[in-house]
Structure 1
């Protein structure tokens, strides 16, 4: 009786969430190759020379709002997002290559839909709720399917063309087997994606649960004033030689300070979670090394890298790709099976 109840939950949740799940999984899977898609659409981004830190700093000094990313091997350009949300790309010579307005191309549409369904904060709340429901959907499906006796046949698939009589069996077997075989990447994508929607709550909860900190010795704060981004980046390199600047906040804070994010060797987060703060036309005023933060906070910062396959090399990238494809296949085969069965 209880298995039947979980089956009904799985069926109706699957029908309700099918379109959303296909679109989110499709956009997320494609965005694993965002750089390649941008270079395919905009040939001017197919760069071979990586801008230096000094060349990037010269570009940053042209802007007084928004934020910017330092060049990386997987993004061989200087990237600036201005105060209006337009993304600018520059080469090593500081030449302006491209300006992408918000929702100005199909890659931007995919990003905005995958992040918050084109609805900003409201979309983020909706995505969080749908993410929790999708986890319930997967759990209910596993409980409903769980076999009383295990054998290799419980995961076998007999492929039959759509026009043939046994095609419904193929749909059911594909739905069942893809969900079970790829359950680890599927669960990882759903859990991390939902956790990102509730990042503040997850970060605070883990920090309270695991408050242990590590003692990290820091050098004395330099007193040399910095008047531009070249000098701030140079000070940052001298102060933390083991960390690399990754993200620059171009607009000053309410106190008139400038911030940058850095990544230490071995850190999972591609943009790092350590901070340096500089006074306007003044010296460095504070530092925040992520390695000295609570264990729970550091653990929470592994969620995003896992979701976007920024760690784990080709093995986790392949697993994430297969998980995304499975999240497309599951609703398609499930709804198709339900529709053919209902028509009969």
Structure 2
């Protein structure tokens, strides 16, 4: 038990601040569409495929000013988001008219906060660090539950510590950790699996990573360069005709010389915000190359696609967003106090010789009960 206690304290002391940053940024990002300020952000989503096709044609017609991707409006955010090379971007209304532009993500808080939460401003390396932190957080939660069990008789429901003394903070830390443990496990497990896909084998059984990779793989690359003029409106109309009940979510130019333009859609039964219903068009001609219906994906892939909506509270409306906000704020508080007590409120030599706060409390309660 002493070893578990030492590992728990050192884990909290070393990664507590990182978990606190992830928790706070995640709590803010859950409500990102609500606090993103831009003209027409509150417009209702347009479902008219003709209007969306015309807007797409207008935005993509000029090769010199063509964005790398378009993210279409959703039910809670009424703008198109355009991403260009070099980190530039813009918002456009659903008619294709520019309403706001930026030259760097640092000009838009919703963008740099997203990058902080997902990549720590360090690209793939930062994403790997976040995955490791999530695994450490899981260890932190599980060992915390084990350590709390010894002191369960002293449990009290407190939002904040009774005092800012080390014993009071430690007691509050353990009790609050038990209360929010299910939410923390949900956030940490989904986050870790989204970063490290091989971990899907733990949730969905052996062979799950390979099945997911095969099911979500795009068509083979084509030797085709992006043409200067294409019928972008025709692609949108064709995509909607192929999946009439689907919501248009994004259009992306070819990546890594794939020779394929990607259009993603979201059917009503999908939880994933951008959907997995996908169409690929040839970059040189605009001809339809392949289409994938999310309804035909294997059950393992369907289950995998539920992880991100749960992690980012993209289902369940405002009630579930508030639940995941609580998870993020609790992680922030627990991580911050863990670092504070470990590095700045460590017990002195004399304090180490005294019985712990929990033991003293237990003895006092036992004395009262036995008279």
Name the TM tier (shorter chain). Answer: 0.7 to 0.9
Given that 1:60 and 1:250 are in contact with CA atoms closer than 8 Å, whether structure 2 keeps it comes out as no
Q: Aligned to 1:48, which of 40, 43, 51?
A: 43
Aligned counterparts of 2:66 and 2:123: Cα–Cα separation in 1 = 24
Given that 2:173 and 2:337 are in contact with CA atoms closer than 8 Å, whether structure 1 keeps it comes out as yes
The reply to whether residue 235 of structure 1 matches residue 238 of structure 2 is yes
Aligned counterparts of 1:24 and 1:159: Cα–Cα separation in 2 = 20
Given that 1:158 and 1:173 are in contact with CA atoms closer than 8 Å, whether structure 2 keeps it comes out as no
Q: How far has the Cα of 1:245 moved from its partner?
A: 1.8
Q: How far has the Cα of 1:312 moved from its partner?
A: 2.0
The reply to whether residue 122 of structure 1 matches residue 125 of structure 2 is yes
In structure 1, the partner of 2:30 is 32
Give per-residue Cα distances to partners, 1:252-272, cap 9 Å, x unaligned: 774533221111112010000
Q: How far has the Cα of 1:169 moved from its partner?
A: 4.5
The reply to whether residue 156 of structure 1 matches residue 157 of structure 2 is yes
In structure 2, the partner of 1:220 is none
RMSD: 2.8
In structure 2, the partner of 1:133 is 136
Q: Which has the larger radius of gyration?
A: 2
Q: How far has the Cα of 1:156 moved from its partner?
A: 3.5
CA distance 1:204–1:249, shift in 2 (3 Å):
farther
In structure 1, the partner of 2:105 is 102
TM-score after normalising by structure 1: 0.83
| Paired residue secondary structure (1:84) | helix
The reply to whether residue 319 of structure 1 matches residue 318 of structure 2 is no
> Bigger shift: 85-94 or 298-307?
85-94
Q: How far has the Cα of 1:64 moved from its partner?
A: 4.2
Given that 2:266 and 2:273 are in contact with CA atoms closer than 8 Å, whether structure 1 keeps it comes out as yes
* Structure 1 unaligned residues grouped into runs of 5+: 213-225
- Equivalent residues, number: 320
Q: How far has the Cα of 1:128 moved from its partner?
A: 1.7
Q: How far has the Cα of 1:45 moved from its partner?
A: 5.0
Q: Aligned to 1:144, which of 135, 143, 147?
A: 147
Aligned counterparts of 1:257 and 1:130: Cα–Cα separation in 2 = 35
In structure 1, the partner of 2:335 is 331
Aligned counterparts of 1:20 and 1:283: Cα–Cα separation in 2 = 47
CA distance 1:342–1:209, shift in 2 (3 Å):
same
In structure 1, the partner of 2:59 is 59
Q: How far has the Cα of 1:23 moved from its partner?
A: 1.2
The reply to whether residue 17 of structure 1 matches residue 11 of structure 2 is no
| Paired residue secondary structure (2:85) | coil
Given that 2:42 and 2:76 are in contact with CA atoms closer than 8 Å, whether structure 1 keeps it comes out as no
Aligned counterparts of 1:79 and 1:276: Cα–Cα separation in 2 = 20
> Bigger shift: 311-320 or 52-61?
52-61
Give per-residue Cα distances to partners, 1:166-204, cap 9 Å, x unaligned: x444323321222111111111111111112113x3468
| Paired residue secondary structure (2:73) | coil
Q: How far has the Cα of 1:247 moved from its partner?
A: 1.2
| Paired residue secondary structure (1:340) | coil
